[in-house]
């Protein structure tokens, strides 16, 4: 029997107590409809019940509403509808926790709340896999808001780093598909820099940032054609040099963090070559050639 099933049984046992049976028929009927799987009817009844003076501050009523909306969310067939239902479920469960001064239902409500909060992060990850950065950002923001509402001291740094690294990868892939879409380049840079602000020793963000700048410089040079005027060529070369210079400290940082990575040796060879520092380029080429094959 899984955890959520056990939680549900406990909740129904609590809500079926003689004390609750003495309360308004509307709340009792909402429970009965929920137990019978008639979620739409249960939702209508519980929505009305929690507006009544005797239940607006009733932790049990908000707990039931949270579980009704959670099950409706799980059964939803459209993204917009599932998001709306999940938002309501979380709000109800949070109300239950806040009102439950005795702590009678806090564990059950908290476990359901955490399940729904994690589902936001999982949806953000799926959206990134689908290259849907707009939805990913929206759902990740909801994940953070839900986590911080439950515990304002929550440490979300690791999740933020994981998400922003993945977001940077999405923007990089989309930029590589169309190198003229400079907004994607800028967004990728911003994503990786946000990771480095949180974790300066993050290898992936440093390496990816260096690669982005280097590839941008190479692409500019590759666009030079025989028809270009010399002043234009010189200008393009200077701009590319600036990108190579921006790439260098991040690639050096990545190399310092993990000197055994062959990819950073090749990266440094290419960057120094592009900066016309042949001695340094040869040095890293030699280190690469001396590196044992993986």
Taking alpha carbons only, the member of 37, 29, 27 closest to residue 63 is: 27
Both tokens of 144, joined, read 């953070």
137 lies in a domain?
Answer: no
161 and 288: one domain?
yes
265 lies in a domain?
Answer: yes
Distance CA 125, CA 227 (A): 46
First-last CA distance in the chain: 45
Give the number of domains in the chain.
Answer: 2
145 lies in a domain?
Answer: no
Q: Please calculate the CA angle 278-280-281 and round it to the nearest 5 degrees.
A: 60
- Tell whether the model's pLDDT for residue 218 goes beyond 60: yes
Task: Give the model confidence (pLDDT) of 13-22 as tens digits.
Answer: 545 444 444 4
187 and 99: one domain?
no
User: Which pLDDT score is estimated for 240?
Assistant: 80
Task: Report the SS3 class of residue 180.
Answer: coil
User: Which pLDDT score is estimated for 183?
Assistant: 93
User: Which pLDDT score is estimated for 235?
Assistant: 57
Task: Report the SS3 class of residue 225.
Answer: coil
CATH number at residue 23: 1.25.40.10
167 and 104: one domain?
no
Task: Give the model confidence (pLDDT) of 165-217 as tens digits.
Answer: 999 999 999 999 988 888 999 999 999 999 999 999 999 999 999 999 999 98
Task: Enter the pTM of the model.
Answer: 0.84
- Tell whether the model's pLDDT for residue 228 goes beyond 60: no
**Taking residues 118-128, what's their average pLDDT?**
97
Q: Report the phi/psi class of residue 203: left, alpha or beta, with left for phi > 0 and alpha for psi in -120 to 50.
A: alpha
Distance CA 217, CA 231 (A): 17
Domain enclosing residue 27, as ranges: 1-119
């Amino acid at each position: 029997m899984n955890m959520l099933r056990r939680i549900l049984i406990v909740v129904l046992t609590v809500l079926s107590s003689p004390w609750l049976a003495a309360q308004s028929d509307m709340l009792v009927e909402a429970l009965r409809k929920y137990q019978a799987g008639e979620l739409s009817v249960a939702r209508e009844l519980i929505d009305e019940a929690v507006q009544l003076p005797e239940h607006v501050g009733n932790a049990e009523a908000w707990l039931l509403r949270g579980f009704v909306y959670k099950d409706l969310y799980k059964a939803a067939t459209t993204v917009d509808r599932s998001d709306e239902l999940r938002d309501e479920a979380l709000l109800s469960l949070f109300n239950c926790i806040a009102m439950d001064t005795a702590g009678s239902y806090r564990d059950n409500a908290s476990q359901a709340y955490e399940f729904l909060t994690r589902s936001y992060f999982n949806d953000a990850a799926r959206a990134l896999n689908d290259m849907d950065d707009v939805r990913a950002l929206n759902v990740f923001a909801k994940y953070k808001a839900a986590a911080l509402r439950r515990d304002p001291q929550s440490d979300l740094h690791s999740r933020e780093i994981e998400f922003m690294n993945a977001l940077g990868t999405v923007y990089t892939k989309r930029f590589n598909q169309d190198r003229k879409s400079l907004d994607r380049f800028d967004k990728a840079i911003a994503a990786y820099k946000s990771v480095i602000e949180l974790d300066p020793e993050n290898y992936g963000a440093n390496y990816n940032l260096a690669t982005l700048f280097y590839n941008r410089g190479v692409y500019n040079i590759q666009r030079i054609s025989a028809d270009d005027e010399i002043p234009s060529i010189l200008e393009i070369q200077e701009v590319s040099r600036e990108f190579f210079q921006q790439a260098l400290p991040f690639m050096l940082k990545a190399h310092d963090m993990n000197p055994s990575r062959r990819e950073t040796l090749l990266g440094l060879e290419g960057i120094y070559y592009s900066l016309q520092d042949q001695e340094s380029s040869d040095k890293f080429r030699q280190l690469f050639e001396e590196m044992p094959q993986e």
